[in-house]
Structure 1
């Protein structure tokens, strides 16, 4: 397989998975469908296994690494502002698209048969805010509550900055754990071509087009909305504000976007996103160490902007409810400030629940969309990761931290695990 690039291996896995899934569906080959399901399930489980230590140490180290970056406060502020700006653009486009296509108009579904949804701790803004604060540190990790893990990482990272030299042993240990987890996770990512075949094959064998029929307009709307953000918004921002070639960017970023599509996990794609950002897009390593992990847990243009906006319009139309200008403004507000609720894991049910409850729409609408969620989640996650790659390039370009020679060079191969660098001695920031 080393004769083929990692990107080509992923593409081959995608093609093989579609073919096997189609065969299992058409000829009703139960054992093949089950095999594909188990292969995909094992791959996702391996990715999720690393989530708690990866997120915690990545966020802690990324915050602490700000001391190594000149103008750290300015860089962090610019990054967050770009996160908010791109989210606002994405949700605005999604609302406009929803008003044009009317995804729920004429759709007749048995709303009484909507699947029950467990919305405990995710139904209101108060639940969301209080849910950020863990009642038990151990529980936050054992239950893989990524939002709480991010909170703990930010707090301890800030405390490490405040304590200074005395906290160096903790920081060194966290860096070592992060390197170990990333190394092990890279081994899992190398299995992505096989995992891709299982995940895509399972989707084709299980769902086919049957479930998309009554929700076709909504499903197409989500894909079209995400593709507009991917292929129009991001390239425009890169060309106008980043003054770099969008084609070169996507050539460099493609392996991470492709893995995000099939794995449906921003956090699981994090090590590859980090490598692409530094080794292919030429973003300064110290700044990328902050921006990429933070983006992987809070930057969700697909799951938190495009999808909930279209889903809210769909649910309102299916249930015969009217949305006014104030409601659309609320959708935009929730999408821009609430994206951390998705927390980098597969699916966007928490974000959708938060949006529907804020608008006072029936939460049964979530249940109507659960059946096709895996299919929609692929393009949503690809959009998420693309946005997580775009923002560091824009900020690095504006701050003179983008190596254009690396950006424009032929893409570096990603077939081998990244070399482990010894932890640098922390230096106080000058600004």
Structure 2
């Protein structure tokens, strides 16, 4: 085993264990899918593996609301200046919308050039139970950002409402000055406490990932790809193009950072995103990667990462673009330039306030199809492969979050370049998931983060 896969004590790193769990789950899942043993599929895979996988995802989601709340309070307080906070928020919002719009525009262009779905035969496709969802107006989308009941927003996991409320609370704390110091210190302690809980949950990550991947491939298999292979190939190609080319161009142009170093350091978050298919559940890992591995100050990272997990849906937007072209070709409907411009606008607007949880892409797709007049029943064509595609596009989503976070931190002078250049910074080490004292300082708040040199 290569030295890069082990820590200083010679043990396998946690990232390596997770990758082994993912690979093992894929192999076992394909084998079990081919064997089709009813007892094993029902009680072992659907029962035990399904239970362990759900427990792991639930444990990650359990962390999201308190972690976002306390880290965001620390981030706002750490920025310390309302004007700087507004600048960071404006940059983040603009970059997130720009990457999403670019993603779906490129995806539509690729799909139009390749033409997936042409000549597809609908015979035998089960469209039972496929229903649409009416698209909300632009005004309803923005009005829903403000919670009527903050407690209900927290209990329901309405992330954009939680972020809005928490930012308002943090700004109010800034306005109170010294009197808010005990409150901020308490939030910093709770932030550290939540990161310790993250470490405990992540100790079980290899097992959780193994069970999730095994269950997915046992149930889905390879055969589901064949009828919609052109859709799958175009979608995967567009996702990879955005991941390895478009986002890296954004990173290089706006921050000047090395994309190869960035991709190596964001890999743990990509693995978690692929396994869970949930941007929200991956927030703790994404936050850890950008702060401890890349050197982004906690003040910026704790603001932009949860914000991005809520409004930045690059991968999902790509899926909507490719799926729209695919279904338009299947039904022989010419949407025209105006129709595709509508798709781009709808996808960008729908991404704002949409929960970063598994399967949300299909809900957003029904809104887009309704808007351009395509039959909702066509979604049945891609339902079978959507879970696997969801895993890939979630990895793209969180990579976009990390790219924007890094750009904002770099342009604001809130990034430690020594940490970014250090290949071992913030690595997850063996079975010892404790964060050292230096890393704890980073997580405690912006006051502990060093400026860029």
1:330 corresponds, among 336, 342, 348, to: 342
2:165 counterpart residue number = 152
CA contact (8 A) 1:124 1:357 kept: no
2: CA distance, partners of 1:57 / 1:157: 10
2: CA distance, partners of 1:69 / 1:14: 43
For structure 2, list consecutive stretches of 5 or more residues without a partner in the other structure.
1-5, 448-453
Equivalent runs, 1:246-257 vs 2, <5 Å: 246-257=259-270
CA contact (8 A) 1:37 1:199 kept: yes
- Taking a change above 3 Å as real, the CA distance of residues 325 and 276 of structure 1, as seen in their structure-2 partners, is same
Q: Does residue 99 of the first structure (1) align with residue 112 of the second (2)?
A: yes
Equivalent runs, 1:345-384 vs 2, <5 Å: 345-347=357-359, 348-384=361-397
1:414 counterpart residue number = 428
1:119 counterpart residue number = 133
2:329 counterpart residue number = 317
Equivalent runs, 1:59-70 vs 2, <5 Å: 59-67=72-80
CA RMSD for the aligned pairs? Answer: 2.9
2: CA distance, partners of 1:75 / 1:263: 29
Q: Does residue 395 of the first structure (1) align with residue 408 of the second (2)?
A: yes
Once the two structures are TM-superposed, the CA of residue 125 in structure 1 deviates from its matched residue by 4.4
2: CA distance, partners of 1:61 / 1:362: 47
Equivalent runs, 1:188-337 vs 2, <5 Å: 188-303=201-316, 305-337=317-349
- Taking a change above 3 Å as real, the CA distance of residues 103 and 167 of structure 1, as seen in their structure-2 partners, is farther
- Taking a change above 3 Å as real, the CA distance of residues 423 and 199 of structure 1, as seen in their structure-2 partners, is closer
- Taking a change above 3 Å as real, the CA distance of residues 345 and 65 of structure 1, as seen in their structure-2 partners, is farther
2: CA distance, partners of 1:359 / 1:160: 45
Secondary structure of 2:225's partner?
coil
Secondary structure of 1:104's partner?
coil
Q: After superposing the two structures, state which structure 1 stretch, 82-91 or 107-116, moved more.
A: 107-116
CA contact (8 A) 1:79 1:291 kept: yes
Q: After superposing the two structures, state which structure 1 stretch, 42-51 or 379-388, moved more.
A: 42-51
- Taking a change above 3 Å as real, the CA distance of residues 71 and 89 of structure 1, as seen in their structure-2 partners, is same
TM-score normalised according to structure 1 size: 0.88
1: CA distance, partners of 2:271 / 2:126: 37
CA contact (8 A) 1:69 1:287 kept: no
2:35 corresponds, among 16, 27, 40, to: 27
2: CA distance, partners of 1:334 / 1:159: 34
Once the two structures are TM-superposed, the CA of residue 175 in structure 1 deviates from its matched residue by 4.0
For structure 1, list consecutive stretches of 5 or more residues without a partner in the other structure.
427-431
How many residues are paired up? 425
TM-score normalised according to structure 2 size: 0.84
